[in-house]
């Protein structure tokens, strides 16, 4: 499906319409979605109280503007969910800056005596601050000022406009294609700026003053162009575009060379594609090519029985959207159209229905399971593709258990011989089956149209569509070939080990992703491990325990990142300036694995044969 082209040359008119009384956060929401930000589901990872409040310099008599409170409480606040998109620090409550508004600056209406500024946000290195005038603190949506060169200047006409503009400054560089043109190139050819002004319209926002850039933004089809006019602008022109073609069109219009090696930076985050597998077609005798499942029977539609009593848990007039019960019907669960999940444990001494707002979309599927320990699990899915996990005697996990960009259609749980398991079906035809103990997961492309799933303790999966129910026998060993590896990963104290970018807590998750049956996920994980583990100075203490796991995954013929993974292993043997014996240990770990990998010299894939040769050469060398 062709992506809709958005002409940001019309953005100034959108801004004017918004200023005439549209909902305060409507434009922020639109900008975020247009550039690829998706509500991650779950709870915010950062709260207003997690900012840089120093507990001094606060005037408790001043009210906090309505817009700032709204932003913190809104699910549209992408900073609270993904702070690293922004690289800023927040201040809560807003503090009074030591820098006051200069007399005669024109910022104070009528020459007011209160020249203080309430700071609510700072640049990541504290090079400057953003705030609002204390004289305007009682306004619901006051102006925003920024400190530049020891003085306050106006940045945005309102707080809500500033927070939208901040997202506009940050997200296109993260989710879009980027071309940056250095100062010297533009200074040598002033016609670039002339072509910019004659070809494109301004966005209608005030110049962005951060770090003295004084950047004025222009709009193009699927692209924005920033002209950095101030002394702080290392790049005079920055083009961000939603597609590579849109970026090239702007570059050619401006007469900017984009053909240099790696001149164009691709998006740093790209949503995983949805499946295209067609309708469910599971006939008796059908089998997975990898032996993970076999259809043992196909019959009339027989969806799992649903407990009618659970529907009564949802107070009227909210619509009930899904219900479930555990294996002995002592836990009843209902989900509603408002995204709330309601749970009643009927065998409790004093049964009481508990309801939590776990979703920001209607609940579409539920399942619950009582473990042998007595602990009860509730998993819920919604129309946005989010699955939440809740152990009822504890707080729900803040982060989603899983998320995809298509609705959850069915969920099922069971206590298998390997432990608790979850099956989930999404609207695009993908079914995932998790071993909850190890987090091992299998992706089964069974087809669209699934309405119910049933998972039994004997390892059978019942798949119901509009025309019938298929019973699949699961081969658990083939379903989760790396289950044991995942559990062994959890036995390493990765937090005490170091990578080139800090503690190694993320290493087990990345190694797990190397086993993914989605090629992009596996390749991205290998690249991330490369950045964290590979160093000729052997500065990473996490590399040595990681090597046996990487070698084990390399021996899996179904691994989708084998050539790149083998190069990673080879480069881990290329240690030249190690200190304290770390290089010897790292090289020894790779050498120990060499006999198991020598068969790869005869691999049919030329890239793997080449990488195997690199591995031999690096293992033969000695660290200097």
Q: For 438-451, what is each residue's pLDDT tens digit?
A: 989 999 999 999 99
pTM over 0.75: yes
Q: For 90-148, what is each residue's pLDDT tens digit?
A: 999 999 999 999 988 888 876 568 999 999 999 988 889 999 999 999 999 999 999 99
pLDDT at 205 over 50: yes
pLDDT at 580 over 80: no
pLDDT at 175 over 60: yes
Confidence band for 574, pLDDT divided at 50, 70 and 90: confident
Contact 435, 265 (CB under 8 A): no
Write down the pLDDT at residue 624. 47
Say which residues have a Cβ less than 8 Å from residue 40's Cβ, sequence separation at least 6.
81, 82, 399, 400, 403
Name the residue with higher pLDDT: 570 or 574: 570
Average pLDDT over residues 426-437: 96
Average pLDDT over residues 351-374: 95
Write down the pLDDT at residue 126. 86
In percent, the amount of the chain with pLDDT more than 70 equals 97
pLDDT at 270 over 90: no
Write down the pLDDT at residue 2. 58
Name the residue with higher pLDDT: 315 or 295: 295
Average pLDDT over residues 593-606: 92
Highest mean pLDDT among 107-121, 298-312, 321-335, 580-594: 321-335
Write down the pLDDT at residue 305. 80
> CA 174, CA 154: separation in Å to the nearest integer?
26
In percent, the amount of the chain with pLDDT more than 90 equals 79
pLDDT at 154 over 60: yes
| Radius of gyration of the CA atoms of the chain, in A | 28
Mean pLDDT in the chain?
92
Residue 177: Cβ within 10 Å count: 22
Residue 184: Cβ within 10 Å count: 9
Confidence band for 622, pLDDT divided at 50, 70 and 90: low
Write the DSSP assignment of 534-556 as a string of letters.
--TT---TTHHHHHHHHHHHHT-
> CA 546, CA 552: separation in Å to the nearest integer?
10
* Distance between start and end Cα atoms, the chain: 55
Write down the pLDDT at residue 261. 61
Give exposure, 244-276, as e/b (b: 16+ Cβ within 10 Å): eebbbbbbebbebebeeeeebeebeeeeeeebe
Q: For 222-265, what is each residue's pLDDT tens digit?
A: 999 999 999 999 899 999 999 999 999 999 999 999 887 678 99
> CA 84, CA 76: separation in Å to the nearest integer?
16
């Amino acid at each position: 499906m062709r992506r809709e082209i958005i002409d940001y040359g019309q953005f100034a008119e959108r801004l004017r319409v918004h200023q005439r009384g549209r909902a305060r956060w409507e434009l922020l929401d639109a900008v975020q979605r247009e550039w690829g930000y998706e509500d991650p589901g779950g709870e915010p990872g950062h709260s207003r109280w997690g900012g840089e409040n120093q507990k001094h310099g606060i005037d408790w008599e001043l009210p906090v503007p309505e817009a700032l409170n709204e932003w913190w409480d809104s699910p549209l606040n992408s900073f609270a969910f993904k702070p690293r998109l922004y690289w800023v620090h927040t201040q809560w409550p807003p503090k009074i800056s030591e820098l006051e508004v200069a007399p005669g600056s024109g910022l104070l209406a009528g020459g007011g005596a209160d020249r203080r500024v309430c700071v609510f946000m700072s640049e990541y290195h504290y090079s400057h601050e953003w705030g609002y005038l204390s004289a305007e603190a009682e306004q619901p949506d006051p102006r925003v000022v920024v400190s530049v060169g020891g003085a306050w200047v106006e940045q945005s006409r309102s707080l809500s406009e500033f927070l939208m503009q901040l997202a506009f400054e940050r997200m296109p560089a993260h989710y879009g294609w980027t071309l940056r043109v250095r100062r010297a190139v533009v200074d040598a050819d002033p016609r670039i700026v002339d072509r910019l002004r004659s070809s494109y319209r301004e966005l209608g926002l005030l110049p962005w003053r951060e770090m003295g850039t004084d950047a004025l933004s222009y709009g193009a089809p699927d692209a924005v162009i920033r002209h950095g006019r101030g002394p702080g602008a290392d790049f005079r022109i920055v083009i961000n575009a939603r597609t590579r073609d849109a970026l090239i069109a702007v570059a050619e219009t401006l007469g900017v060379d984009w053909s240099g090696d790696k001149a164009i930076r691709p998006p740093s985050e790209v949503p995983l594609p949805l499946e295209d597998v067609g309708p469910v077609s599971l006939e008796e005798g059908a089998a997975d090519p990898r032996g993970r499942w076999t259809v043992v029977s196909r019959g009339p539609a027989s969806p799992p029985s649903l407990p009618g009593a659970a529907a009564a848990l949802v107070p009227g007039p909210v619509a009930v959207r899904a219900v479930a019960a555990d294996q002995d019907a002592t836990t009843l669960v209902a989900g509603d159209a408002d995204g709330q999940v309601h749970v009643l444990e009927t065998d409790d001494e004093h049964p009481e229905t508990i309801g939590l707002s776990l979703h920001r979309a209607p609940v579409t599927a539920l399942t619950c399971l009582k473990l042998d320990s007595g602990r009860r699990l509730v998993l819920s899915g919604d129309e946005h593709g989010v699955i939440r996990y809740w152990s009822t005697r504890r707080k729900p996990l803040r982060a989603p258990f899983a998320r995809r960009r298509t609705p959850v259609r069915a969920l099922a749980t069971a206590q298998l011989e390997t432990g608790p398991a979850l099956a989930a079906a999404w609207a695009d035809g993908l079914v995932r089956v998790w071993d909850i103990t190890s987090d091992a997961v299998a992706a089964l492309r069974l087809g669209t149209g699934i309405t119910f799933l049933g998972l039994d303790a004997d390892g059978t999966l019942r798949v119901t569509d509009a025309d019938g129910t298929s019973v699949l026998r699961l081969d658990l060993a083939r379903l989760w070939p790396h289950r044991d590896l995942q559990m062994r990963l959890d036995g390493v104290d990765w937090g005490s080990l170091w990578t080139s970018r800090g503690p190694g807590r993320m290493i087990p998750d990345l190694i797990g992703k190397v086993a993914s049956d989605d090629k992009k996920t596996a390749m991205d994980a290998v690249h991330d491990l490369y950045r964290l583990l590979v160093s000729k100075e052997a500065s990473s203490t996490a590399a040595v325990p990681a090597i046996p796991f990487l070698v084990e995954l390399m021996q899996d013929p179904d691994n989708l990142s084998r050539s790149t993974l083998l190069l990673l292993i080879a480069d881990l043997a290329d240690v030249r300036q190690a200190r304290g014996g770390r290089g010897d240990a790292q090289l020894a770990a790779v050498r120990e694995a060499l006999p198991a990998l020598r068969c790869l010299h005869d691999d049919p894939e030329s890239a793997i044969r080449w990488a195997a040769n690199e591995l031999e050469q690096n293992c033969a060398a000695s660290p200097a």
